[in-house]
Structure 1
Amino acid sequence: MLGYLLRRVDDPESAADLVAEVFVAVWNRLGDVPADGGARPWIFGVARKVLGNHHRGARRRSALTERLRAELNRVHVVRPETADQSLRDIGAVFRTLAEADREVLALAGWEGLGPSEIAVAVGCTRGTARVRLHRARGRFARALRKAGVDIGGAAAPERPRPLQRPVTKGASS
């Protein structure tokens, strides 16, 4: 079995892991093993299916890695040492807000979540999330005015879009 899988994957460690997966699958399906001497080809059939799952998983991981790489290249991150004074002032005021306000504002503004998603993240109803977000935005705006921060001149960084799963035909999840 190891030789069969070694010839079909790139590294010996993956082949060894796949051998273990094959025999776990065989163990879980002991009642399905043919009794008339057909066990060996049946086990190779199981190995073929495990190998197919391995290759599909590798393709999914590769696609996700590429999407993440593209997203990281697209997102402009403003670092404190390179931000202009207005952005630093906005950040300083933001840090003075209550933790709950910072959380809903960050989830909405930086993570791109809507009220329904914020509700799930913070453990409340959608309506409560909408109210919290509205009130947090108001408190933030008042705090900015009170601190004399001119947000009109601040160049806001591009807000990152959340990663979207690709739509595939026949996918059901």
Structure 2
Amino acid sequence: MTTDRATADADDRARYERVFAATHRRVLAYVVRRVSDPSDAVDIVADTYLVAWRRVADLPDDEQSVAWLLAVARRCLANHRRSHTRRVALTDRLAASLEAIVPPPGEPKELSDVHRALSRLEPEDLELLRLLEWDGLDRAEIATVLGISRNAVRVRLHRARRRFANALASEQPPQPHPRVAAPAYSREGS
């Protein structure tokens, strides 16, 4: 029984190789004429012949093989176009969400002061503040992420906030205190 299967496998392989040798240029030309980027054609042709190998029992071994393979290539092209459309849409959605997370260049001065102050923090302080404020984790979740106790998170967070406040204060020029007008005294009552 195993020799029958081995013989059938050898026959399938030989038929596949004959069909590939006879058709691959025509299939490639068909695909190249239908894609905007020729490098995509290589992937689509590879997908076409992968389908042919998986369905080698259905693969015609005569003049019908070209038409059969072009039908497979047509479906592979359609799949490629759909995946390209989905990929572009996903890229657009990711870009939009990235803009919501990371402000575009030309940010306001106050924000650049924040970035400079954050860049002056130690990495441990910066990570704590990011986990809390940017990632929205609570103290217990931060403790899990960092592998420390909740009490250690509380203490380190207090210190990180204080260091951040000091760094931010040093980034901003001192604000003049509002002048308090001297009380006006009337000479009438004196």
**Bin of the TM-score, shorter chain as denominator length:** 0.5 to 0.7
Number of the residue aligned with 1:60:
86
Of the three residues 38, 45, 55, the one matched with 1:12 is: 38
Inter-partner Cα distance in structure 2 for 1:5 and 1:15: 6
Query: Structure 1 unaligned runs (5+)?
Result: 120-125, 155-173
Of the three residues 162, 167, 175, the one matched with 1:145 is: 162
Change (3 A) 1:12 1:47: same
Task: Say if 2:77 is the partner of 1:51.
Answer: yes
Residue correspondences, number? 136
1:53 CA drift (Å): 1.5
Task: Say if 2:103 is the partner of 1:76.
Answer: yes
* Partner secondary structure for residue 57 of structure 2: helix
1:151 CA drift (Å): 7.1
1:51 CA drift (Å): 0.9
Inter-partner Cα distance in structure 2 for 1:29 and 1:20: 14
Of the three residues 144, 152, 173, the one matched with 1:128 is: 144
User: Which TM-score applies when normalising by structure 2?
Assistant: 0.50
Query: Structure 2 unaligned runs (5+)?
Result: 1-26, 172-190
Deviations 1:58-101 (A, max 9, x none): 1122112222332344431699xx632x6544543x41x54xx7
Give the aligned CA root-mean-square deviation in angstroms: 4.1
User: Which TM-score applies when normalising by structure 1?
Assistant: 0.54
Of the three residues 54, 71, 75, the one matched with 1:28 is: 54
Matches within 5 A, 1:151-170: none
Equivalent pairs: percent with the same residue? 35
1:147 CA drift (Å): 7.5
The higher radius of gyration belongs to: 2
Deviations 1:10-45 (A, max 9, x none): 132222332222112212321232568643333222
Inter-partner Cα distance in structure 1 for 2:105 and 2:156: 23
Inter-partner Cα distance in structure 2 for 1:148 and 1:103: 16
Number of the residue aligned with 1:39:
65
Runs of 4+ in 1 over 6 A off after TM superposition: none
